[in-house]
C-alpha cells in the first residue's frame, strides 16, 4: 500500500516545510516565501489527485480514451492566481512595513510597537 501513497506523503512533508517557515520564521519576506511553498505543495497534491495511470493531458485528441481528471486542474489554475494575488499583497505590505518601521523582523517591529504603547 505504501507504494500507492508514498508521494502523498512527500507532498505532506513539503507542505509542512512551508507551513513551518510561515509560522516559525521572523522575517516577513521569508514568511511569504514559506506561504508560497505551502500553497504550491497543496497544488501538487490536488494535481496528483487528478492523475490517472496511462491517462494523458485533458486535451481531446483522436484515439485517446483515457484523460486525467480536468477538474482539479481548473481548481488549481484558480488557486494559483489566488496565491500570486496573496503574495503580491503580502509583499506590498512588507515593503510598507519596511518603510514605516525600518525593519522586516517580527521581533523588532513588536518591540517598536511596545515602546509606542
Partner 1 sequence: MLAHLPVLQVIVPLLAAPSCIILRRPGWVWLFTLLVSGSAFLISIALLQQVMASGVIVYELGGWEAPWGIEYRIDTLNALLSLIITGISTVVLLAARTSIKEEIPEDRHTLFYVLYLLSLAGMLGIVTTGDAFNVFVFLEISSLSAYALIALGRDRRALWASYQYLIMGSIGATFILIGIGLMYQMTGTLNMEDLSQRLPEVAQTRTVFTAFGFLIVGICLKLALFPLHLWLPNAYAYAPSIVTAFLAASSTKVALYLLIRFTYSVFGVSFSFTTLPLQTLFVVLGLLGVFVASTTAIYQKNVKHLFAYSSVAQIGYMIVGYSISTTAGLMATLLHMFNHALIKGALFLALGAVFYRVGSVHLRDFHGLGRQMPFTMAAIVVGSLSLIGVPLTVGFVSKWYLVLAAVENGWWPVAVLILLGSLLAIVYTWRIVEAAYFKAPQAGIEQVKEAPLSYLVPVWMLVSANIYFGIDTRLGVHVATAAAQSLFGVGP
Partner 2 sequence: MKDLFAVVMLSGIYGLLSASFFVTLDAVDVAFTEASVGAGIATLLMVVTVTMTGRYEHTAHHKPIWALAVVLVTGALLIYGTLDMPYFGSADAPGHLHVAPRYINDSMQEIGVPNIVTAVLASYRGYDTLGEVVVIFTAGVGVLALLSVARCPEESAEIDAVNVSMHEKHLILCIVSKMLIPFILIFALYVQFHGDYGPGGGFQAGVIFAAAIILYSMLFGMSTARRVINQPLVQLLSAIGVLIYGSVGLVSMLNGGNFLDYNLLSEDPVAGQHLGILLVELGIGCTVASVMVIIYFNFGGRTDDYMRNGTKDA
Contact positions vs partner 1 (CB under 8 A): 15, 19, 22-23, 28, 31, 35, 38-39, 42, 45-46, 49, 71-72, 75, 78-79, 82, 85-86, 89-90, 93-94, 96-97, 100-101, 109, 113, 116
Is the Cβ of residue 5 or residue 64 nearer to partner 1 in the bound state? Answer: 5
CA dist 53 and 12 (Å) reads 21
CA dist 23 and 65 (Å) reads 45
Within positions 8 to 37, which residues make up the interface with partner 2, using CB under 8 A? 8-9, 12-13, 15-16, 19-20, 23-30, 32-33, 36-37
Q: Does 99 bind partner 2 (CB under 8 A)?
A: yes
CA dist 42 and 110 (Å) reads 31
CA dist 67 and 56 (Å) reads 5
Amino acid at each position: 500500500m505504501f507504494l500507492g501513497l508514498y508521494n502523498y506523503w512527500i507532498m505532506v512533508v513539503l507542505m509542512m516545510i512551508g507551513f513551518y517557515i510561515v509560522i516559525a520564521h521572523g522575517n516577513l519576506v521569508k514568511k511569504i516565501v514559506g506561504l508560497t511553498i505551502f500553497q504550491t505543495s497543496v497544488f501538487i497534491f490536488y494535481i496528483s489527485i487528478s492523475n490517472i495511470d496511462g491517462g494523458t493531458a485533458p486535451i481531446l485528441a483522436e484515439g485517446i480514451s483515457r484523460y486525467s481528471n480536468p477538474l482539479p486542474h481548473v481548481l488549481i489554475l484558480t488557486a494559483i492566481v489566488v496565491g500570486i494575488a496573496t503574495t503580491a499583497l503580502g509583499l506590498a505590505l512588507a515593503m510598507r512595513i519596511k518603510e514605516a518601521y525600518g525593519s522586516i523582523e517580527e521581533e523588532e517591529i513588536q518591540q517598536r510597537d511596545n515602546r509606542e504603547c
